[in-house]
Structure 1
Amino acid sequence: MTTFLEEARQETAKLRQAIHDLPFNLELTAGTLRQDRFQHYLIQDALYLTEYARALAALAAKAPSAGTIAQFGEAAAGAVFFEQAMQQTFLTTFGITAAEVAASSASPTNLAYTGFMLAEGMKGTYETLLAAVLPCFSIYAEVGAAIAAKASDNNPFQLWIDTYAAPEFQQSVQRAEEAANRIAQDTNPALYRKMLNLFRCSVEFEWMFWDAAYRLETWPTAIYR
C-alpha cells in the first residue's frame, strides 16, 4: 500500500528536483554562493522560523494523542533554538545582531508562506495543518542530505549543511513523516486529497523561498518608505 508521503513525493517529484537545481542550492553545494544572498536567506529564515514555531505549536494543540502533542511541542521549541543557534553563528560572523534581524521586514514570499501555514493553523484540522507544515521538514532533510553527499571541501557553509544532514534532524523528520502516514490512513478521500494539495503548496513555497533569497527579494514598494 502506498503511504501518504510516497504519494506526496510522487506528485511533487519534478518540483522537488527543481529545488535541488536552484542556483542557490547548487552554489551553496559548491561553496560559491555570494555572502549577500546567504545573509538575506539567513535573516528571512530567522523571521520565518519564529512563525513556523507558532504553526508547530498550533499543530501540537490539535494533535490527537499525548505522544504527538509532545512530539510537535518539542519540534516547535527546536525550530526556535536548534536551527536559530546555527543561524546566529553565521549572523554573528556577518556582524548582524539579533536586534537587527528582529527589525527586518519579512519578504513578500516569506510573509505569504508563513501566513499560509498560520491560516491553516487557525481554520484547519490536525491532518491539514500537518500536511502544510511537513514539507519544511521533509525538503530540508532531503536537500541537506543531498548537499552533504557532494559538498565541496572546506565549504564555508558547512555548518548549515551539517545542521540539516545531522542524524538528529533526519530522525525528527522521519518521526513527523510517520505521523503523517499514520493519520492519513484514517482519512476520507476528500480530506486525503486536501492533505496532498496542501503539501504541494508548501513545496511550491519552499522553491519560492530559496529563489527569493537568491534574487535578494524586497518589497517593490520599499522605495516609497
Structure 2
Amino acid sequence: MTEGYGTTFPRLRDAAGAVWRDYTGHAFVERLREASLPRAAFLGYLVQDYIFLVHFARAWALAVTKAETVDEMRTCAATVDALVNTEIGLHVRTCAEAGLSEADLFETAEHPANLAYTRYVLDAGHSGDFLDLLAALAPCVMGYGEIGARLGQDVADGHPYADWIATYGGKEYQQVCREVGALFDGAVARRLGPAPETTPGWDRLCHRFTTATRLEVGFWDMGLSFAR
C-alpha cells in the first residue's frame, strides 16, 4: 500500500508500533471510510486542519533553511507549494460549501490539540536539525498517504467524503509521499550513514516520529469531539 515511500519511513512506522495503528485506524478514519462520520465532526476537523496546514507549510519552509543540498531545498519548497496551493484548496472549497470563507478559516481559534501538534513540529525544527524536523513532519505526510490509499479502495459513488479520500489517495499526493520518502532516505544516509539504527541519532528520530504520531491521534480525537 505504501510501496515507494522509501525505507526510513517504514522503519520509523514499525518502531512506533501500536501508536501508528491507533493513528491510521482511528475511529474518525473508520467512520469517514464508512460514511458514518457526522458532517459536523468532519467540518470541525477540516477548519482546524486548515490552520494546521498553515503552520505545516511554515515548518516545511523552515526545512528549506535547514537543508544542506539544493535537491533537499527543492523537495521542501515543492512540498510548501503543494500544501499552500493544492491541499489547502480542498479545505477552502469544502468549507465554502458550508458557508465558511477562507477568512473565516484563518481567523478561527486554534484547538488545544492543534496548538500542541503544530508547535511541537515547529519546535522540532527550531531546536533540532533537518532530521528532527523531517521525523516530526513525516507522520502527517505519510500517514495521510497511507490512509488515502487504503480508503480509496472502498469509495463508492456518492460517498460524502470522496473528495477528501481522492485527494490523499490520488496520484499527485502519492507522488508527494514518494518524494518525501526519498528525501528522508537521502537525508538519513547523508547524516547518519548506511546503518542509521546503530547511531545515537536513530533513537532520537524514533522518539520524534512516535511523539508526532501520538499528536496525530489527538487530532483525530479532536475531530470526533465536534460531533458532540
- TM more than 0.5: yes
Q: In the alignment, what sits opposite 2:117? A: 113
Give the aligned length. Answer: 217
Q: In the alignment, what sits opposite 2:216? A: 206
- 1:90 alignment partner AA: T
Q: In the alignment, what sits opposite 1:191? A: 201
Q: In the alignment, what sits opposite 2:20? A: 16
Q: Partners of 2:155 and 2:29 in 1: how far apart?
A: 10
User: SS of the residue aligned with 1:149?
Assistant: coil
1:74 and 2:74 matched:
no
CA 1:211–1:124: 2 relative to 1, 3 Å: same
Q: How does 1:2-41 map to 2 (within 5 A)?
A: 3-41=7-45
CA contact (8 A) 1:62 1:126 kept: yes
1:149 and 2:153 matched:
yes
Q: Partners of 2:208 and 2:107 in 1: how far apart?
A: 30
- 2:16 alignment partner AA: T
- 2:139 alignment partner AA: P
User: SS of the residue aligned with 1:155?
Assistant: coil
Alignment deviations for residues 4-43 of structure 1 (CA, whole Å, 9 cap, x no partner): 2232121124222222332211111111211110010110
Match of 1:62 among 66, 76, 86: 66
Q: How does 1:102-181 map to 2 (within 5 A)?
A: 102-181=106-185
RMSD: 1.8
Q: Partners of 1:174 and 1:13 in 2: how far apart?
A: 22
Q: Partners of 1:58 and 1:169 in 2: how far apart?
A: 21
CA contact (8 A) 2:121 2:136 kept: yes
Name stretches of at least 5 consecutive residues in structure 2 with no aligned partner: 1-5
Q: Partners of 2:138 and 2:80 in 1: how far apart?
A: 13
Q: In the alignment, what sits opposite 1:50? A: 54
Q: Partners of 2:65 and 2:42 in 1: how far apart?
A: 34
Q: Partners of 1:196 and 1:179 in 2: how far apart?
A: 17
CA contact (8 A) 2:16 2:206 kept: no
CA contact (8 A) 2:32 2:161 kept: yes
User: SS of the residue aligned with 2:173?
Assistant: helix
Q: In the alignment, what sits opposite 2:90? A: 86
User: SS of the residue aligned with 1:150?
Assistant: coil
CA contact (8 A) 2:136 2:209 kept: yes
User: SS of the residue aligned with 2:100?
Assistant: coil
CA contact (8 A) 1:127 1:184 kept: yes
TM-score normalised by length of structure 2: 0.89
CA contact (8 A) 1:31 1:151 kept: no
Name stretches of at least 5 consecutive residues in structure 1 with no aligned partner: 218-225
Q: Partners of 2:8 and 2:24 in 1: how far apart?
A: 22
- 1:157 alignment partner AA: Y
